[in-house]
Structure 1
Amino acid sequence: MGSMNAVEIEEAISVLAERPFDPTEFPYAFLQAFGNKETTLSRLRAGNTNKSDVGGVLQRNNIHLAVAPPGEVSAKLSQLRESPATTKQKAKFILATDGETLEAEDLASGEPLACAWDELPDHFGFFLPLAGITTVRQIRENAFDIRATSKLNKLYVALLKENPAWGSDERRPDMNHFMARLIFSFFAEDTGIFAESRLFTDTVSRMSAADSSNTHEVIGTLFRAMNTKHADRENAGIPRWAASFPYVNGGLFSDKVDVPRFSRTARSYLLQVGSLDWKQINPDIFGSMIQAVADDEERGALGMHYTSVPNILKVLNPLFLDDLRAKLEEAGDNSRTLLNLRKRIARIRVFDPACGSGNFLVIAYKEMRAIEHEINRRRGQPGRPSEIPPTNFRGIELRGFAAEIARLALIIAEFQCDELYRGQKDAIQEFLPLDAENWITCGNALRLDWLAICPRTGTEVKLLGDDLFNTPLDQPEIDFENAGGETYICGNPPYKGRNKKDSTQKGDLAAVAGPRTSKHRTMDYVAGWLLKLADYISAVPGTAGAFVATNSVCQGEQVPVIWPLVYERGVEIFFAHLSFTWSNLASHNAGVTVVVIGLAANGTRSKCLYSGTSMRLVASIGPYLVPNTTVIVKATTTPLGPQKKMYLGSMAKDGGNLVMSLKAARDLVQNHGVNSAFVRQFFGSEEVIYGKPRACLWIDDSHADSALKNAAIAEIVERVRRFRRQSDAPSTRAFASTPHRFVQLSAASGTRAIIVPRVSSENRPYLPVSYFAAGPVIGDKCYAIYDAPLWNMALVASRLHWVWVGTVCVRLEMRFSYSNTLGWNTFPVPALTDQNMADLTRCAEDILLAREVHYPATIADLYDLETMPDNLREAHERNDEVLERIYIGRRFRNDTERLERLFAMYTQMTANEKRSSTARRMRG
């Protein structure tokens, strides 16, 4: 199955529906549209994998489809449903068509589909599970937005091909303005804002030549008409055929109204876009997808920019919407209480300082309008005009086009809400002309003063950029009155890890955090928004905010860098969502692992911790998002408890020369006269987990001269020397003088070692750990405890340690990234009796013996969640039972209880360590 995203699938289905119906070819063309490769289709055509028993095409675990005689589609669908092969081959869907109508059924849910053949593109979302796309329900609800995005992208690319200068930095804003104007026109002609349905599309079709030679002139005239009051049109030379277009104002069609030239292809795409039903637009979703249309770097991921409403509500609900709904529930039908709530809602400001195309602002606006409407209904005023001003929904966005789309999305959302709650007549009557106020600032949020854009009293916006809506930079005070209102800051700032920031982004973080810490270089980019949010909250009483952030800001070495700076502003976490995947529309796309973090002034809010669909009230939430503790774990060079010291393995920095395959090593010994004493087994993370050791040359200084007499060794060592000399890193170049050995040697290895890979999957129930009696070289992708009692392995192999490392160490996406100084040395272990050590030693032995039974199965094989052998699982359960009884006299109920106990112990142990250190200094 190929990897296709929803936009690509919609495009393929649209092409299929536009072609003349070919009954022989249809099943294969349909499957190809959902990502099946030609080799798969060839096998189906040949009958090798086609399991149909009714003359159709049946793909196992996927779909059973057939072409019906004219008028017999329902009968054919029944035949497919009753087919024994459909059941036996576990088909998920059945589909029948005669090229005029189409019927299908989702066999898992029983949901049916029936449509005309040419309407198939409108229902492509029904079949998306065939392409392995999991966000199906959300996509199906927004199928229009995907179709519109696909068509707009074709138009955009065709226009840039015809007008290459419009793709330059200088003209790109003009191109973006043009696209925003088109979107507004398409929406207006389908929703009654324009006097006639399809007025814009039909006028362009009628008045522009088929060869597209004057298409740009026709559109330019329509834009001028929409920027000219009716009384002034005669003097402005607006022709009669443009007279029925309304005066839009609001700056939307002011400034430049030049239009790019059209090719025949571009004109065709324009008319296709206009033929869509723009009443279906979802401004909260559409904007986040079409911003990719105007971004060269993102266009390759077109259709993947999708932020689901449920994910946005994970931020907005706990931030303030849940409270508003609770107050609505408490108010009942009390008219005075309802009135006060309505006044409160009208003064709430929502501010997104990384607003993109405005989806958080639009969702907040729509949810607040729904609450206001319910208030009005209970007070007997169902059609009352809204008191919620769109100007209370403010944003900052770096990219000009996205900022323009954000305001356009809010304008569309306002109209849709008016139409829903007040009726189309009132909505249209009050919609035009648009006002010229702007409340989305185009700029760099980490360089701007948020208080200038969303000030304490809300009476003035000082900074506004020149944009599509023609707001001059020096626009004087706009009366966005909001005295006494609440401000809620929210959003989804850019995901850039510490090592993926460009020079500008590094400078942004330096500007925000540099005055406070020299370690800002180690921060993720999103940390800048957290720090600015903490500053804002400390400056504006009553403010709260919440951001989606990569979960790395709550893990590992970033915690002691970022969170003390947040806390020093008198700010605390008042709610959080534990790690979840913020995914998009791409097929098989894992998305980004994120958390949601809500901040407010100390002591002003109750604390709620969310995990999936569950919520828990807690006393406090720490920076690791652990309940009832705010302690920050700091790396230490020696263990806090009785466990033995753990060392990083040896680092080669050899350009792939000293470390080699076992086959290459055997060749050196057998065919090139290399002394086998210079060759040892080598283990890194992969080698330990997958049981596939490699080899390495291991030559100590005292034997270097002897070893280098061998020509094969001398050649390898010379390659190492050249590699190190050419390195950009001074530390590597320094070892060019000793190319026969690794650059960093681990602690002197003894007869045995406990090995822990540095990086491993989060999908195993326990951390991978192994035990070597003697001999191998442990590489720097592993940590090793040399010559340690075996009970240390019982600690590493426990659920307690899995939970601790998963919380305090860095995660790579969700994978574990182990650290000796941060994960092992800080792991709180109580004082152990001799009996405790003996019991844990036996547990470690039992785990090793249980593995041995399944030789040659590897750690990767044995620790698969689904197939882990019973005896090995039981050995680990016994290990957990023994260890956890040492901690609290019983098994822990869950991981949350484990973490709470571990953090409490860590707090106590570090306090004891501090007291002991102070006492030692005083004695000294």
Structure 2
Amino acid sequence: MNPVEIEQAISNLAEEPFNAEEFPYAFLEAFGRKATEIKKLRKGDTNKSDLGGVLQRNNIHIATCAAGEVSETLAALKASPATTKFKAKFILATDGREFEAEDLVGGDTVACAYQDFPDHFGTFLPLAGISTVKQIRESAFDIKATGRLNRLYVELLKDNPDWGTAERRSEMNHFMARLIFCFFAEDTDIFSTGDLFTGTIDRMSNRDGSNTHEVISEIFRAMNTAIADRASANLPRWADAFPYVNGGLFSGSTEVPRFSKIAQRYLSHIGGLDWTKINPDIFGSMIQAVADEGERSVLGMHYTSVPNILKVLNPLFLDDLNAALEDAGDNARKLLNLRNRIAKIRVFDPACGSGNFLVIAYKQLRAIEAEINRRRGEADRKTDIPLTNFRGIEIRDFSAEIARLALIIAEYQCDVTYRGQKEALAEFLPLDSQNWITCGNALRLDWLSICPPTGTGVEFQSEDLFQTPLDQAQIDFENEGGETYICGNPPYLGSKWQSKEQKDELKAIFDGRSDNWKTLDYVAGWLMKAADFGQHTVCTSAFVSTNSICQGQQVSAIWPAIFETGHHIQFAHTSFKWSNLASHNAGVTVAIIAISNLTGRPRKIFSLDADGNVAVKVADNINAYLVAGRDVEVRKATKPISRLSTMVYGNVEKAGGHLSLSSDEVEELDLTQEQKEKFIRRFFGSEEFINGKARFCLWIEDEHLEEAMAIPKIARRIEGVRKMRSESVAAATRAKAEVAHKFWIILGAPQSHTIVVPGVSSENRPFLPVGVLGSDAILSNRNFAIYDAPIWNMALIASRLHWVWIGTVCVRMRTDFSYSNTLGWNAFPVPKLTEKNREDLTRCAEDILLAREAHFPATIADLYDPEKMPANLRSAHDRNDETLERIYIGRRFKNDTERLEKLFDMYTKMTTKVAS
């Protein structure tokens, strides 16, 4: 279940008559616990409560009680031995009137009237397997409103299916935006009375909802009619009470979808919510999912967290402004200069979605301005910051509309906060018809025409703020000498997942600038467009990006082109998870990258340490790998640049599966033990090596072919290979039909042992899953192999140094490491090793292998689970890191940042020396 569904289920439970016996099970059911779990709890099979309540192991201990005994019951739950023994994360007590609960892990408490406990549902989301965060607990209203609006939206489409078609979807979405404004307006006194909108609909509509669409249509018509024109507009008297709103929100068609009785009831319920609690920087992202059928299954999980957005905005310009505010102190002149500077700052998000970045930037600037006004004794001064300085491009018309509405709401809320309700209301209506969000494709539009160089005007091409789709921004503004900052969270999309149209967009941007543009993630288009924009005006741009554009072959595909425009990397936040609330969405690994053509400012690298704290490093230069140091491009090397053993791909079967076998298929061959030893080998892909799965292959030497063909079941398999290859459309494959007993490509087989490195492995493991296999092991091309090499080579691969190198210079498969012998191993810089160094590293590798052996039959996956890694194995790796890092710099490195700086410095010197 998603948060919206959970909130609805909890709200339904609170509205039902309280049943003390059923409540614990209904509560768990509302959070999506499985019917089989509830059944076992009811039977008592899994109920561990010692207080007559319901205790689900590792989850929650619930007890209902007599009236007035809630606090005592909660205390008893907390003191209960069963609560401790069975590791309950929550305790909850209620008598149907009062409700109290505690999160025993996080420490949060809830104490409220029973009917109000749905307002705190975010606290209990871990019961549904959703790792809750602070934002969701603070946005219960946004989730509740989203859920109610979604129910209305779906219900309206049932009776108005034509409104759900592509031709009319924008009308439906525009109607929803109008409703949101009306709900907000009547709860914030923008309308004259608190229930003007919903109350009028309730009074004037038929009970069956048959004329509700007509009532709402007249209300919308009234809000688009100027007061001076009311006399001739022939408005009903009850509609005349509505103010003139303008701004394009109610212009154009006033047609409204027809309402059923159920839809009208939903509308009334939505109006009954307290819309003063709306949070525009989160609500917009949630509501946009209502209009997208494909996203409704994860409704309530669509938001970009404020802390993550501030990771972009703070170093982009907010840190500088706050430092200037601190420096100004109470100096009136400095404060005035700073206020004038803020009024000219433009923030442009060319992938703005529902406006999260723009809304938060606006609210942050208003907060700084308010502090300036307070210090200058002008606390009630009207803001000098125009909404039109917050520009955006969004491809979806509804999201663009919600972005505009979110900014309008944010402006009103800021006016109320900093100037008071009376002043905010006096200046709110009518809305301005200027448009500052453009609906269109950001990679096809000219950014200079939407956010022109300072002081340049833009022609009006449309009359209405909310008319969609919009082709162009419509504002002529004055900010000569102002600063421009570009930011956002563009769509990622790796090269394999891009449509033809998206490929064409990247081609138009990169063709002639990059030979490898086809490998680029879609987000690269925004970075290049920002660099092109910066050639016409001074600006800094910061985007949340896939970290893969700073890894592997994408580095050479994008960064030389950006650097050629005169831009450098101004700041970066190295890889971290950018996640939503979805339990099934652990979050994509991203980096924040800022490019600038400004000079003289310190360049900074932000990174997370082992404890999750942010570390900041000031650098003279940040290269394309987001490492402090000279600009460098790590290139594929055909052989190691250091004195290392040769690493090759594993072998390629390409035999239609006829040469690989499961354990059962080996037995079905009915071979003697001697035949098994001669013709059967263990076969390892990355899955088999990491998870210990058994797989085998036929491995037949030429001199044994005749003997093998004498075994009918083997002969049939070889004939299957021959047939498959001979029928292939590829000439190279057909050529291998004559050697059907062999793998298609054989790059090696060990005489004594193989050092194996899986091609793809999880980044969540603290070390790369390297290991050693015996002479009977054959590797597939899912692995890399170093055949019969000294074991000290394994010590290098098993190190933290190699882990950070691979994570930086090699490509990623989604969030997993994708190993490369040419980039990861051959280009890995290693100091010249003495014989003593090799002996020490050999011993370290052997200690790691012995530590693993002590936990047989545990697999690599078992042993390197970060939560369960055995202490002796962790110690063996620690000794390995200590030994290796002392070889590099005579001591342990302080952190991964220092490791990378050393590796890149060595790589630059070694490759420069080779080139010269």
State the TM bucket, normalised to the shorter chain: over 0.9
Residue 235 of structure 1: CA displacement? 2.1
Task: Spell out the pairing of 1:423-502 with structure 2 (5 A cutoff).
Answer: 423-462=420-459, 469-470=466-467, 478-502=475-499
2:271 corresponds to 1:270: no
The SS at the match of 1:356 is: coil
Report the CA distance shift for 1:472/1:756 in structure 2 as closer, same or farther (over 3 A): closer
Residue 519 of structure 1: CA displacement? 1.3
TM-score, length-scaled by structure 2: 0.95
- Residue in structure 1 matched with residue 565 of structure 2 by the alignment: 569
Task: Spell out the pairing of 1:116-195 with structure 2 (5 A cutoff).
Answer: 116-195=113-192
- Residue in structure 2 matched with residue 580 of structure 1 by the alignment: 576
- Residue in structure 1 matched with residue 622 of structure 2 by the alignment: 621
2:7 corresponds to 1:6: no
The answer to whether the 8 A contact 1:762-1:814 is kept is: yes
2:296 corresponds to 1:286: no
The answer to whether the 8 A contact 1:636-1:826 is kept is: yes
- Residue in structure 1 matched with residue 813 of structure 2 by the alignment: 812
- What per-residue deviation string (whole Å, max 9, x for no partner) do you get for residues 28-85 of structure 1? 0101111211111112111222222222212233222222223443343343344343
The SS at the match of 2:228 is: helix
| Counterpart residue identity of residue 773, structure 2 | F
In structure 2, C-alpha distance between the alignment counterparts of 1:10 and 1:492, rounded to whole Å: 28
One of 374, 377, 388 as aligned partner of 2:374: 377
Q: Larger deviation: 758-767 or 799-808? A: 758-767
The answer to whether the 8 A contact 1:400-1:467 is kept is: no
The answer to whether the 8 A contact 1:452-1:462 is kept is: no
The SS at the match of 2:497 is: coil
In structure 1, C-alpha distance between the alignment counterparts of 2:233 and 2:219, rounded to whole Å: 12
Report the CA distance shift for 1:537/1:267 in structure 2 as closer, same or farther (over 3 A): same
Report the CA distance shift for 1:531/1:55 in structure 2 as closer, same or farther (over 3 A): same
Q: Larger deviation: 464-473 or 311-320? A: 464-473
In structure 1, C-alpha distance between the alignment counterparts of 2:180 and 2:726, rounded to whole Å: 58
Residue 26 of structure 1: CA displacement? 0.9
2:55 corresponds to 1:58: yes
In structure 1, C-alpha distance between the alignment counterparts of 2:377 and 2:364, rounded to whole Å: 20
In structure 2, C-alpha distance between the alignment counterparts of 1:449 and 1:619, rounded to whole Å: 33
| Counterpart residue identity of residue 597, structure 2 | A
The SS at the match of 2:245 is: coil
The answer to whether the 8 A contact 2:588-2:815 is kept is: no
In structure 2, C-alpha distance between the alignment counterparts of 1:474 and 1:766, rounded to whole Å: 51
- Residue in structure 1 matched with residue 13 of structure 2 by the alignment: 16
The answer to whether the 8 A contact 1:551-1:595 is kept is: yes
| Counterpart residue identity of residue 556, structure 2 | P
The SS at the match of 2:294 is: coil
Report the CA distance shift for 1:877/1:359 in structure 2 as closer, same or farther (over 3 A): closer
The answer to whether the 8 A contact 2:462-2:474 is kept is: no
The answer to whether the 8 A contact 2:460-2:474 is kept is: no
2:243 corresponds to 1:253: no
Residue 732 of structure 1: CA displacement? 5.8
2:510 corresponds to 1:509: no
One of 343, 347, 352 as aligned partner of 1:346: 343
Report the CA distance shift for 1:601/1:463 in structure 2 as closer, same or farther (over 3 A): farther
| Counterpart residue identity of residue 517, structure 2 | H
In structure 1, C-alpha distance between the alignment counterparts of 2:108 and 2:878, rounded to whole Å: 43
In structure 1, C-alpha distance between the alignment counterparts of 2:160 and 2:674, rounded to whole Å: 68
Residue 529 of structure 1: CA displacement? 0.7
In structure 2, C-alpha distance between the alignment counterparts of 1:232 and 1:872, rounded to whole Å: 82
- What per-residue deviation string (whole Å, max 9, x for no partner) do you get for residues 4-23 of structure 1? 32112111101212222222
Residue 245 of structure 1: CA displacement? 0.5
In structure 1, C-alpha distance between the alignment counterparts of 2:791 and 2:460, rounded to whole Å: 65
In structure 1, C-alpha distance between the alignment counterparts of 2:766 and 2:471, rounded to whole Å: 60
In structure 1, C-alpha distance between the alignment counterparts of 2:82 and 2:264, rounded to whole Å: 48
The answer to whether the 8 A contact 1:159-1:262 is kept is: yes
- Residue in structure 1 matched with residue 551 of structure 2 by the alignment: 555
2:28 corresponds to 1:34: no
Residue 313 of structure 1: CA displacement? 0.3
In structure 2, C-alpha distance between the alignment counterparts of 1:222 and 1:653, rounded to whole Å: 69
Task: Spell out the pairing of 1:203-222 with structure 2 (5 A cutoff).
Answer: 203-222=200-219
| Counterpart residue identity of residue 801, structure 2 | L
In structure 2, C-alpha distance between the alignment counterparts of 1:426 and 1:640, rounded to whole Å: 70
The answer to whether the 8 A contact 1:315-1:547 is kept is: yes
In structure 2, C-alpha distance between the alignment counterparts of 1:830 and 1:117, rounded to whole Å: 68
In structure 2, C-alpha distance between the alignment counterparts of 1:472 and 1:641, rounded to whole Å: 58
In structure 2, C-alpha distance between the alignment counterparts of 1:880 and 1:108, rounded to whole Å: 34
Residue 463 of structure 1: CA displacement? 8.2
The answer to whether the 8 A contact 2:655-2:743 is kept is: yes
In structure 2, C-alpha distance between the alignment counterparts of 1:396 and 1:750, rounded to whole Å: 61
In structure 1, C-alpha distance between the alignment counterparts of 2:353 and 2:431, rounded to whole Å: 22
The SS at the match of 1:74 is: helix
- Residue in structure 2 matched with residue 305 of structure 1 by the alignment: 302
- Residue in structure 1 matched with residue 835 of structure 2 by the alignment: 834
Report the CA distance shift for 1:686/1:240 in structure 2 as closer, same or farther (over 3 A): same
The answer to whether the 8 A contact 2:308-2:578 is kept is: yes
- Residue in structure 2 matched with residue 545 of structure 1 by the alignment: 541
- Residue in structure 1 matched with residue 694 of structure 2 by the alignment: 693
Task: Spell out the pairing of 1:355-434 with structure 2 (5 A cutoff).
Answer: 355-434=352-431
The SS at the match of 1:861 is: helix
Residue 813 of structure 1: CA displacement? 4.0
Residue 635 of structure 1: CA displacement? 1.2
Report the CA distance shift for 1:851/1:399 in structure 2 as closer, same or farther (over 3 A): same
- Residue in structure 1 matched with residue 611 of structure 2 by the alignment: none
Q: Larger deviation: 862-871 or 403-412? A: 862-871
Residue 876 of structure 1: CA displacement? 3.0
- What per-residue deviation string (whole Å, max 9, x for no partner) do you get for residues 175-212 of structure 1? 11111111111110110000110211111111111211
In structure 1, C-alpha distance between the alignment counterparts of 2:729 and 2:50, rounded to whole Å: 65
Report the CA distance shift for 1:811/1:620 in structure 2 as closer, same or farther (over 3 A): same
Q: Larger deviation: 732-741 or 517-526? A: 732-741
- Residue in structure 1 matched with residue 880 of structure 2 by the alignment: 879
Task: Spell out the pairing of 1:608-647 with structure 2 (5 A cutoff).
Answer: 608-612=604-608, 613-647=614-648
The answer to whether the 8 A contact 1:104-1:114 is kept is: yes
TM-score, length-scaled by structure 1: 0.94
Residue 152 of structure 1: CA displacement? 0.8
Q: Larger deviation: 92-101 or 181-190? A: 92-101
- What per-residue deviation string (whole Å, max 9, x for no partner) do you get for residues 327-368 of structure 1? 000001111110110010000000000000001000000000
Q: CA RMSD for the aligned pairs?
A: 2.4
- Residue in structure 2 matched with residue 920 of structure 1 by the alignment: none
2:670 corresponds to 1:669: yes
Q: Larger deviation: 57-66 or 834-843? A: 834-843
| Counterpart residue identity of residue 201, structure 1 | T
Q: Larger deviation: 606-615 or 284-293? A: 606-615
In structure 1, C-alpha distance between the alignment counterparts of 2:119 and 2:723, rounded to whole Å: 61
Residue 287 of structure 1: CA displacement? 0.5
- Residue in structure 2 matched with residue 681 of structure 1 by the alignment: 682
Residue 420 of structure 1: CA displacement? 0.7
- What per-residue deviation string (whole Å, max 9, x for no partner) do you get for residues 96-139 of structure 1? 22223322233345543222322222221232232333333210
- Residue in structure 2 matched with residue 752 of structure 1 by the alignment: 753
Q: What stretches of structure 1 of length at least 5 have no aligned partner? A: 916-924
Residue 473 of structure 1: CA displacement? 6.2
- Residue in structure 1 matched with residue 313 of structure 2 by the alignment: 316
In structure 1, C-alpha distance between the alignment counterparts of 2:301 and 2:869, rounded to whole Å: 36
In structure 2, C-alpha distance between the alignment counterparts of 1:394 and 1:794, rounded to whole Å: 53
Residue 620 of structure 1: CA displacement? 1.8
In structure 2, C-alpha distance between the alignment counterparts of 1:725 and 1:399, rounded to whole Å: 51
The SS at the match of 2:496 is: coil
Report the CA distance shift for 1:721/1:188 in structure 2 as closer, same or farther (over 3 A): farther
The answer to whether the 8 A contact 1:570-1:602 is kept is: no
In structure 2, C-alpha distance between the alignment counterparts of 1:727 and 1:172, rounded to whole Å: 48
How many residues align structurally? Answer: 911
The SS at the match of 1:297 is: helix
In structure 1, C-alpha distance between the alignment counterparts of 2:729 and 2:325, rounded to whole Å: 63
